[in-house]
Amino acid sequence: MKPVLKLLICLFIGIAITACDNDVPKDYTEHLTMWVSAETTTIYDEWLDADMECMLVKFSPTTEWEPMNLGRIQGFSYEKGVEYELSVYRSTPIDGPGAGENFAYRLDKIINQTAKRVVVEGLEQYYTIPSEGGEIEAHFTSNMPCQITRVLGDIYGNGVTLDKESEGKYVIRFSAGENTGMGRVKTVTLRFQNAEMLTFGLWQNPRPFGKSEKFVLTEEGTLGYMLGDECNLGELTEITVKGHINANDAFYLKKIIDNAGTSLPQSERKISVDLAHSGFSGGTKSYYGDCGICALPDELLPVIHNNEVPKGIFNGNKNISKVRLPESIKAIGNSAFSYCPLLKSVNIPSSCKSIYAYAFYNCSSLEEVEFPYIHNEVGLPSFEKIEESAFSGIGRLKSFVLPESLKSVATTALSFYVDKLFSLTEEPPVWEVPGNAGYVVGPKPDGCTLYVPYGCSEAYKASEKWGKFKIEEMPEENWWEI
């Protein structure tokens, strides 16, 4: 074969091969710019049947953000809190890159990246120091430089220091000696390069409590941090709280009462609670809730209305023996003291208008319900309503007062024995009671003396209901002395 012919044949074969190669389908690739948000989102993945964290991306500054799986862009490592502008290659594979994916992405270069949001990892909301003292060394990472900008709260321990260990890595150091008082808190605020702030707490538990302790609340929501997580209440039997109590405080007050006196023999575990210089308010938050200290879920918090003993706050306590309520109380909530078998004494403040259902139900040892306007010249009675079974199943009372302000009494409200019954109305009260119409309290008067206003005994004796009692008139002056 001639050389020229051979050359022509080879040339023809090469052209044919090239032509065949051009007929093979190829991926379509385009070069474009995309933006990646500093925020992430979560979407449900049907294939994995789970929620997946995703980046937020867009392909024009004016369009909406859309989710994209982390790691979807080949050669790109996403960092939370940083906003990116990227140059990428987007390909449409012939046989598809994977289920649910239309495109494959490959990083060309990072055009711009800006830290938009602080991302801190490894730093707790608060750190607890035992009452005997200790040290804290908290290591954390941050995508932005930071420094301590403010330290507030109780003055204790040495100074709080912040040291940079390496790029993006920091350590907080703090130490405190023995705590000889109530729980105490120091808050530390970090300021980051973008002016964002982050606050955390340094909380030291209180010393072991003695027999008698006074908790003075400077602000609502402070009782929890004064108490501490692992406080020793073993010897505590006399509790005094001074200051406004919100729902958060009420939770911790119940915790104190339920756990007080545990180191004592059961026969000596009798708890008294003095709230005379306090009052209930409608708030819920912990004073240091911004850094997580004493923050509680709403479902754990009792329902509190201003100046009302909260519903069920002392319910079922087996050791509480005496409670002193503040004069500001307007009502005693449902089952507030029910099933407290050792409760012997409680006062009804002169401002109290209502005692709700089952308030003192089954307080089998209750023998003294003190009314300040009977014992002292303190205000005029406001008592208007006693609801169902409020005093049912209680012990024998030393005295009970039916003030002239009383408007309604449920049929099961006054089911108890009493030694001295005071009725302050000039006309005998009329209401329905269970059992024989002649017996207002308990199955029978049983030696009860009914004290009535001066000059009104004849009206009471003539009453079918009241005439079966032993009736005496109160003195015209200083009648409360009896």
Supply angle C-alpha 154, 155, 158, rounded to 5. 130
Can you give the pLDDT at residue 4? 52
Measured distance CA(242)–CA(204) in Å, rounded: 21
Q: Which residues contact 8 (CB under 8 A, 6 or more apart)?
A: none
Q: What's the mean pLDDT in 445-452?
A: 76
Measured distance CA(19)–CA(269) in Å, rounded: 99
Confidence of residue 194 (pLDDT cuts 50, 70, 90): confident
Of residues 128 and 103, more confidence is placed in 128
Q: What's the mean pLDDT in 162-176?
A: 95
Give the residue from 154, 170, 153, 152 showing the smallest Cα distance to 162.
170
Confidence of residue 23 (pLDDT cuts 50, 70, 90): low
480, two tokens? 């409360």
Instruction: Measure CA of the first residue to CA of the last residue in the chain; give whole Å.
Output: 145
Confidence of residue 436 (pLDDT cuts 50, 70, 90): very low
Encode pLDDT of 275-316 as tens digits.
999 999 988 999 999 899 999 998 999 988 889 999 999 999
Can you give the pLDDT at residue 184? 94
Q: What's the mean pLDDT in 35-49?
A: 86
Encode pLDDT of 338-368 as tens digits.
999 999 999 999 889 999 999 999 999 999 9
Measured distance CA(37)–CA(67) in Å, rounded: 10
Q: What's the mean pLDDT in 324-349?
A: 94
Q: What's the mean pLDDT in 379-406?
A: 84
Is the pLDDT at 437 greater than 50? The verdict is no
Residue type, 312: G
- Please give the full DSSP string across 171-200, using - where no structure is assigned: EEEEEE----SS-EEEEEEEEETTS-EEEE
Indicate the pTM of the whole model: 0.74
Can you give the pLDDT at residue 250? 94
83, two tokens? 């906003």
Encode pLDDT of 209-242 as tens digits.
999 999 999 999 999 999 987 788 999 999 999 9
- Using DSSP bridges, classify how beta strands 470-473 and 238-245 pair: parallel, antiparallel or unpaired: unpaired
Q: Which residues contact 19 (CB under 8 A, 6 or more apart)?
A: none
Helix, strand, coil share (%) of the chain residues, nearest 5: 10, 35, 50
Measured distance CA(339)–CA(453) in Å, rounded: 35
Confidence of residue 20 (pLDDT cuts 50, 70, 90): very low
Q: Which residues contact 256 (CB under 8 A, 6 or more apart)?
A: 227, 233, 236, 239
- Using DSSP bridges, classify how beta strands 345-347 and 368-370 pair: parallel, antiparallel or unpaired: parallel
Encode pLDDT of 51-60 as tens digits.
889 999 999 9
Encode pLDDT of 104-147 as tens digits.
899 999 998 877 788 899 999 999 999 999 999 999 999 889 99
Ranked by mean pLDDT, the top range of 9-13, 159-163, 428-432 is 159-163
284, two tokens? 């819920």
Measured distance CA(151)–CA(119) in Å, rounded: 21
CATH class of 120-204: mainly beta
Is the pLDDT at 444 greater than 60? The verdict is no
- Kindly report the CATH number that applies to the domain delimited by 212-481: 3.80.10.10
Confidence of residue 435 (pLDDT cuts 50, 70, 90): very low
Q: What's the mean pLDDT in 202-212?
A: 94
Measured distance CA(368)–CA(389) in Å, rounded: 17
Percent of the chain predicted with pLDDT > 90 = 51
**Lowest-confidence range among 5-19, 333-347, 438-452?**
5-19
Measured distance CA(313)–CA(134) in Å, rounded: 35
Domain ranges of the chain: 27-115, 120-204, 212-481
Measured distance CA(445)–CA(436) in Å, rounded: 11
Can you give the pLDDT at residue 75? 92
